[in-house]
Amino acid sequence: MRVTMILPALTEATSPLFRPIKYSLFPPLGLATLAGYLDPGDEVTLHDEHVERIDLESLDTPDLLVIQPYITSARRSYEIADHFRARGVHVAMGGLHVTSLPEEAAAHADTIFTGPGEDTWPLFLKDFRDGVPARRYDSTQRTLAGLPPVRRDLIKRHLYLVPNSIVVSRGCPHHCDFCYKDAFFEGGKSFYTQAVDDALAEIDRLPGRHLYFLDDHLLGNRRFAEALFDGMKGMGRLWQAAGTVNSVLKPDLLERAVEAGLRSLFVGFETVNDANLAERRKNQNIGTDYAAAVRRLHDAGVMVNASFVFGLDQDGPDVFDRTVAWAVEQGIETATFHIMTPYPSTGLWKQMEAEDRIVHRDWDLYDTRHVVYRPKNMTPRQLEDGYWRAYRDFYRWSNIWRGAGAQPGTHERLRHLAYAGGWKKFEPAWDLLIRSKRVVRALPALERTLAAFGGRG
């Protein structure tokens, strides 16, 4: 059987003028995971439009086309699907956006899948080979036991800064109402992990030193995390991951992670206002000492990538300056800002719909940089302007220096300058690397930055 897999991109990632580095960070792990279920005799190709041009006319006509749309690439995904269906190719579509809006996706696919694919995808493959594929498969059995190895051989490693992305769990134990999670995992478990030995074996298969765990919350199951970190000790890995504020504050877990090679953590602070947290059911953050969490990470030699959301119902026009000032004062190395975006079928979406506050359904603009709903305490213009100003202000050299000054020691200060400056101040250099198709050449510099100064815990 001939199978083509495509991760379509949103327009910005394919721009001929300028391509942000964030689209060249991670390979299409979901599709490479699904490819693991194919037979050795199947012929499979994997295309990622974020890093390579896809000319539909010149692609071969496969027996099966597999597409993974995100909300912001849904329009392009449907265009690709329609093109191949017109040629008689069977199109299978699944993933987050399909799960949110199955009827919308079904109009462009022969088969759709809701939820994670580990249970339904092998069933479909059998039905397809038998000539009786169904129109829809809904995931209910949630386990990562017996997961075949991810087909990393299909990934064009040289096109990514972080070719070694990995996930060893699915979902998260929390229920923030703006998050994709509860809707995606409806109908089954919404947080589960691999067996520790399987996760360690997957890590062992990855070449080089650097890893990026894309798990929603790597520290979410303490028993699993401890065993994983103990198993990773001595492997010489350097890695980055995501975790919640409260998990950082727990005694001992962070220290074990650092011993195993943790050097930077993505933390969802979201807002510095407890009333916002309660409204959005981010209960695990309420009453936690954000400053103590940052200090603890820095003392352990771990850099912080802080995520913030603007436009929550308790936010007024002062939220931007206050948030940036707080982040700079804490010495946070990198920050990701978002305009609150109600994703279809989330709790937030349902509330906004009930209050008639969704202003349009142009999914291209659901990219967390545009206002797609009516904010409560400011105008859409104030919100978008404030969002861009927050990025500019946070990454001003003066603030990068000020942030570095808040670090506990000289090493950390130097690392802060190299890392924060490297991401945002050298965008044109990243763009050149992307165009020359040599992004992976910057990986040793990233490893050096993570390795040279970190891990004092």
Told to check if 371 binds ligand SF4 by CB under 6 A, we report no
CB 307 within 8 A of CB 338: yes
Q: Which stretch binds ligand B12 (CB under 6 A): 7-15, 311-319, 391-399, 404-412?
A: 7-15
Contact residue for ligand SF4 among 176, 327, 348, 446 (CB under 6 A): 176
Listed in sequence order, the residues at least 6 apart from 269 whose beta carbon sits closer than 8 Å to its beta carbon are 245, 285, 290, 306, 307, 308
Contact residue for ligand SF4 among 215, 216, 315, 333 (CB under 6 A): 216
Listed in sequence order, the residues at least 6 apart from 223 whose beta carbon sits closer than 8 Å to its beta carbon are none
Contact residue for ligand B12 among 4, 77, 100, 407 (CB under 6 A): 100
Helices (H), ranges, 395-442: 397-405, 410-424, 427-435
- 262-270 and 303-310: which strand pairing? parallel
Q: Which stretch binds ligand SF4 (CB under 6 A): 57-65, 129-137, 167-175, 429-437?
A: 167-175
Contact residue for ligand B12 among 72, 164, 169, 247 (CB under 6 A): 72
Number of residues that bind ligand B12 (CB under 6 A): 39
- Other C-beta atoms lying within 10 Å of the C-beta of residue 70: 20
Q: Which stretch binds ligand SF4 (CB under 6 A): 112-120, 172-180, 332-340, 433-441?
A: 172-180
- Other C-beta atoms lying within 10 Å of the C-beta of residue 386: 22
CB 296 within 8 A of CB 257: no
Q: Which stretch binds ligand SF4 (CB under 6 A): 37-45, 169-177, 204-212, 397-405?
A: 169-177
**Which residue bears the tokens 């959301």?**
309
Told to check if 269 binds ligand B12 by CB under 6 A, we report no
Told to check if 190 binds ligand B12 by CB under 6 A, we report no
Told to check if 312 binds ligand SF4 by CB under 6 A, we report no
Told to check if 241 binds ligand SF4 by CB under 6 A, we report no
Contact residue for ligand B12 among 1, 2, 14, 22 (CB under 6 A): 22
Told to check if 249 binds ligand B12 by CB under 6 A, we report no
Q: CB of 30: closest distance to ligand SF4 in angstroms?
A: 16
Told to check if 7 binds ligand SF4 by CB under 6 A, we report no
Q: Which stretch binds ligand B12 (CB under 6 A): 93-101, 126-134, 226-234, 243-251?
A: 93-101
Rounded distance between C-alpha atoms, residue 435 and residue 431, angstroms: 6
For 18, the token pair is 């300028």
Burial of 204 (0-12, 13-18, 19+ CB in 10 A): exposed
Q: CB of 336: closest distance to ligand SF4 in angstroms?
A: 13
Told to check if 280 binds ligand SF4 by CB under 6 A, we report no
Helix (H) or strand (E) holding 197: helix 196-204
CB 416 within 8 A of CB 400: yes
Burial of 320 (0-12, 13-18, 19+ CB in 10 A): buried
What does DSSP assign to residue 373? B
Told to check if 174 binds ligand SF4 by CB under 6 A, we report yes
Rounded distance between C-alpha atoms, residue 255 and residue 238, angstroms: 14
For 355, the token pair is 């209050």
Q: CB of 93: closest distance to ligand B12 in angstroms?
A: 6
Looking at beta carbons only, is 13 or 327 nearer to ligand B12? 13
SS3 content of the chain, % helix, strand, coil (to 5): 45, 15, 40
* Residue 217 binds: one of ligand B12, ligand SF4, none (C-beta under 5 to 8 A by kind): ligand SF4
Subset of residues 307 to 346 that bind ligand B12, contact rule: CB under 6 A: 343
Query: Where do contacts with ligand SF4 occur on this chain (CB under 6 A)?
Result: 172, 174-176, 179, 181, 216-217, 244, 268
Query: Where do contacts with ligand B12 occur on this chain (CB under 6 A)?
Result: 7, 9-10, 22-23, 25-26, 28-30, 33-34, 66, 68, 70-73, 92-97, 100, 113, 116-118, 120-121, 167, 179-180, 214, 216, 343, 367-368
